Amino acid sequence: MNVPPMKPTSISDGSGSSESEKPRYWRSLDEREQSSVFQEALAREFPEGATDAPEGVSRRRFLQLMGASVALAGTTACTMDREYVLPFKSRPEGRIPGVPVHYATCMDFEGVALPLLITSTEGRPTKVEGNPDHPACLGASNSQAQAQILELYDPDRSRGPARAGAEGLVNCEWAEISAAIDAMAEKLGDGAGFAVLSRSSSSPSLARLRAELAGKHPQMRWSTWEPLTRQNTIEGAKLAFGEALEPVYDLDQVKRIVCLDSNALQDHPDSMRMSRAFAAGRDPDGEMNRLYAIESSYSSTGGTADHRLPLRSEHMHAFLLALESLATGGPGKLEGVLAEPKYKRFLEALGKDLAAHKGSSVVIVGECQPPAVHAIAHRLNQKLGAFSKIVTLRKMLPIQAQGTTELAELVTAMKAGQIHSLVVLDSNPAYDAPVDLGFGQALSKVATKLHLGSYRDETARLCDWHLPLAHALESWGDGMTHRGGYLLQQPQIQPIWNGWSPLELLARLGGQADPDAREIVRQSYAALAGEATSGPAFERRWAKSLHDGFDARLAEESLMPKLRAFETPAPVPAPTGSDKLELVFLPDTRLRDGRYANNSWLQETPDFITKLTWDNALLIGPATAAALGVKNESLVSLKVGERQLEVAVLIQPGQAPGSLALALGNGRTEAGVVGGSVSQGVSPAGFNSYLLREQGSMWLSTEVQVTPTGESFLLASTQDHWAIDTLGMDERARRAETLIRETDLDHYKEHPDFAKHMVHHPKLQSLWDRVEYPGEHQWGMTVDLNKCMGCNACLVACTSENNVPVVGKEQVLNGREMHWMRIDRYYVGDPEDPGLVHQPVSCMHCENAPCEQVCPVAATTHGEEGTNDMAYNRCVGTRYCANNCPYKVRRFNYFDYHKDYEKPKYEVAKLQFNPEVSVRNRGVMEKCSYCIQRIKSAGITARNEGRSIRDGEVVAACEQSCATGAITFGNIKDPKSRVSIEKAKDREYAMLGELNIRPRTTFLAKVNNPHPDLVAAKSSGGASHDKKGEKH
């Protein structure tokens, strides 16, 4: 083959090397520059503190984290207390002890319901998955849904009612709070002076109860508040169509996608369906789609894009106007920054591409942008022929926040003394409301305040009464998907702490003495179905819908109203060379608006881009940081208008010049012992960016000043973890282009097997004879790098399924995180505007495993079906296996985290564990098992039925959670299996296969689809076969 050779990569020695000597692929700026801190880390054999007791960390904080998470531990030591179990004499029909059962349900996430399937073991939920029968997710789920098991059994959840005391909330009797609720209901009258404040909700039942309550008390006020409001999207549709609507995107047949300041593939309410459709168009053997991302901060959508342009958020308006003109045959008005060659070239190529793909192109705008930009995007989408086919609209969901207006009006009424009774339904405005509203001050003027919530949070502590909220897995309910499909929510367990649902509280306020939430939902369902709640036909339909989790016949139709003429304000000028700063507020990719701050699975999940855990940070681009005189972990004073916050800095490659970004959802003061609780002496995790957020700058502020304080703050980032030593780093840098193999579409069409020719080596020899494994099934996995978007759902799913420990910030700083899966993220090119590639990495289950060869006690061995297995009770903790693993995917338990489970408070936390997976003790090594428990369970079922395991019957936890279908697991011995078909593709390759370790997990190389006008130099992505006797 006549394939041009790869360019050799040389490594800087830290002595001021030229740009050409810097590594092409790099994980952090410290690695790229070979900083003294990075060099010092490489010089150590183990991560700092790995062989020492944690003397230099806050032991109080360390211990406080224990017991707050399933994964902070094991619950068994070397000995077990004797327990007496009553016999299961009256077993329910169809129930087999030890065999899990599955129930369909749904949960509401930020006002949109997600269809789910719950695994229940002996009457307790142990795992959350997406509902495989519903098109909104097809069995996938997001990281927040996966983490609901941890929240359900969180010992910090409110355990009972409380009332205000002299020193804050104090426990009270149920009779007391019931009397207080009844007294509030008796005083409602016409509703004047009574108000309800809720989060957004898609529940038709909640909307029905609201309407009934308003019918009885017409003067009552209902306000809805959501900190991650979609106000700009809704107002943009109102400007374009004349009514409040939400756009719906069908990406199945789309060939060109433009995301303008939009992380649509992760943050959009319909992101799972959209990302799956996008991934389906990434097959290089078909007609590939092309994704453009124009954004101020790197997102997972930007990391997946074929082209990404860093641009300040305030300049998106001018960019979109220029693009609209160019895409429709106009000259395009390019002024200021947009007239610079880099931006001009990008705009002209993008305009030409959209014009050439009318009818199969779409522009999606993020919530950060004002309504005018959304309206212009609708106008452009119409001109591109996207209406009806790609873009439709839907009515707003039953209870949906529309920005700050309703909350602001409520606060005004509270301050004026017009509200005497307030019910707060699972909302926390004392923490997340715009700071200039003064919600806490206004709340003090309300005579009676009742809070319903999962935690005694910041708002609960300002109220007179607090009522524990039943978790979604403990209560009846219903909801709507983003596209208007109806879902049912059914309880999986009795309320652990006797919590109430919002439906029960509203029904009680409406006069029902003993509300039945199931009957409330049943009546709502009947009303939507247009049937009476009696009769066999309805009962059959109701039972089927409960079984399925949804009723496909109850779906709202999409709308396509006529676009109207509208005027928009002039865009903000984009002058060149401006030293003006902007600050963009971002949803936290893990904690969202902060409601998940006490979830340690999510706190310890590394952000896909920054790799931060347990904190947020002020993201600043390298050039902007240099101009401001700050560096990584500098503590700065961030001033927005007249408000000020001290926050740590993280220098972020690819951040737009002059644009700063700060994630919301951190810095909680009453989240719990994980997220922060001042009342319990636990400092907040991260920085509270809501202290800077005002009504007029919900997403973007341009009145920004940054002043270094001269102090620093440790950030727990995992991006440089698992580095080896200087020699090893040199070798890794040399091999980087073969670890993540990528090329462009043109080169792939010429050389479809390019990935197999990127590494050449002499004929591989082994010290041992090759073992042929006799098992009926031989398990293997593929990961398609063209589909993976780094959403972290697989990582959290693995944590939940396999009882993976959480270790806390201090131990992450020591390099002791325990995740069985990591997502390696590499930058490519100029730090100001780098490309990005990523790769999920877990145990490869090598047939010739280096770890097995060095274990002195045979704790890690090979099973007959090709899996690399661990015998935990054999492991003596030499860590030889971790040292000998070339992928660095083995994790060591440095401590016992289970001692707090001996306390009565943490008894409930034991319910979080998957009983089919062993809980590991101190001194034991662990790693990915290919979900061996699922393999064995499927094998038992197959043997009982006298057959072999079917293809697709064993689904690994990571595979099941993946919305894009990037992970495929199965029997590689079956040539017709899905995984065998994937492995037969030309793009398939084994990472580090040249070591002759024969990994069972292989990858499908990444193929980009760049625009020809934006490709500076054609990627080679291959090497010649000229050397005699070499193999690949």
At 250 the pLDDT is: 95
Kindly tell me if the per-residue pLDDT of 73 is higher than 60: no
Radius of gyration of the chain (CA): 28
- pLDDT, tens only, 472-481: 999 999 999 9
CA-to-CA separations, 1018 to 6, 111, 344, 827, in angstroms, rounded: 12, 45, 21, 18
Kindly tell me if the per-residue pLDDT of 556 is higher than 70: yes
At 92 the pLDDT is: 64
Band of the pLDDT at 563, cuts 50, 70, 90?
A: very high
Band of the pLDDT at 507, cuts 50, 70, 90?
A: very high
At 557 the pLDDT is: 83
Alpha carbons 804 and 794: distance in angstroms, whole number = 13
**Dihedral in degrees, nearest 10, Cα atoms 150, 198, 508, 176:** 70
Q: What is the CATH number of domain 19-59+726-1014?
A: 3.30.70.20
Alpha carbons 503 and 150: distance in angstroms, whole number = 24
Kindly tell me if the per-residue pLDDT of 162 is higher than 90: yes
Residue 214, SS3? helix
At 22 the pLDDT is: 56
Q: Where are the alpha helices (DSSP H) in 945-1002?
A: 957-961, 978-983
At 771 the pLDDT is: 85
Share of the chain above pLDDT 90, in %: 76
Range of lowest pLDDT (60-69, 594-603, 670-679, 729-738): 60-69
Question: Closest Cα to residue 912, out of 63, 68, 102, 114?
Answer: 68
Longest dimension (CA), the chain: 93
Kindly tell me if the per-residue pLDDT of 57 is higher than 60: no
At 576 the pLDDT is: 75
pTM exceeding 0.75: yes
Q: What are the DSSP calls for 227-264, one per residue?
A: TT--HHHHHHHHHHHSS-EEEEE--TT-SEEEEES--H
Mean pLDDT of 209-221: 95
Question: Closest Cα to residue 212, out of 202, 222, 200, 225?
Answer: 222
- pLDDT, tens only, 821-862: 999 999 998 999 999 999 999 999 999 999 999 999 999 999
At 822 the pLDDT is: 93
Average pLDDT taken over every residue of the chain: 88
Band of the pLDDT at 60, cuts 50, 70, 90?
A: very low
* Best mean pLDDT range from 53-67, 389-403, 730-744: 389-403
At 37 the pLDDT is: 62
CA-to-CA separations, 496 to 470, 908, 909, in angstroms, rounded: 8, 9, 11
Domain 19-59+726-1014 identical in fold to domain 231-395: no
At 896 the pLDDT is: 84
At 824 the pLDDT is: 92
496: left (phi over 0), alpha (psi -120 to 50) or beta: alpha
Kindly tell me if the per-residue pLDDT of 397 is higher than 70: yes
Q: What angle do CA 30, 33, 34 make, to 5 degrees?
A: 75
Mean pLDDT of 616-620: 97
DSSP assignment, residue 562?
Answer: P
Band of the pLDDT at 21, cuts 50, 70, 90?
A: low
Ordered by start, the domain boundaries in the chain are 19-59+726-1014, 231-395, 582-717
At 544 the pLDDT is: 94
At 724 the pLDDT is: 52
At 733 the pLDDT is: 64
Mean pLDDT of 612-639: 95
The architecture that CATH gives domain 231-395 is 3-Layer(aba) Sandwich (3.40)
Q: The CATH number of 582-717 is which of 2.60.130.10, 2.40.40.20, 3.40.630.30, 3.90.226.10?
A: 2.40.40.20
Share of the chain above pLDDT 70, in %: 88
Mean pLDDT of 743-772: 88
At 555 the pLDDT is: 85
Kindly tell me if the per-residue pLDDT of 9 is higher than 60: no
Kindly tell me if the per-residue pLDDT of 729 is higher than 90: no
Q: 378 or 46, which is more confident?
A: 378
Kindly tell me if the per-residue pLDDT of 50 is higher than 60: no
Report residue 623 CA to chain centroid gap.
29
Mean pLDDT of 612-622: 96
Give the phi and the psi of residue 361 in degrees, each rounded to 5: -130, 150
Question: Closest Cα to residue 434, out of 145, 229, 147?
Answer: 229
Contacts of 1024 (CB under 8 A, 6+ apart): 1, 2, 3, 4, 5
Kindly tell me if the per-residue pLDDT of 296 is higher than 70: yes
Helix (H) or strand (E) holding 818: none
At 340 the pLDDT is: 92
- pLDDT, tens only, 380-389: 999 999 999 9
Question: Closest Cα to residue 924, out of 889, 874, 868?
Answer: 874
At 618 the pLDDT is: 97
At 574 the pLDDT is: 74
Band of the pLDDT at 738, cuts 50, 70, 90?
A: confident
Mean pLDDT of 486-510: 95
Kindly tell me if the per-residue pLDDT of 549 is higher than 90: yes
Band of the pLDDT at 20, cuts 50, 70, 90?
A: low
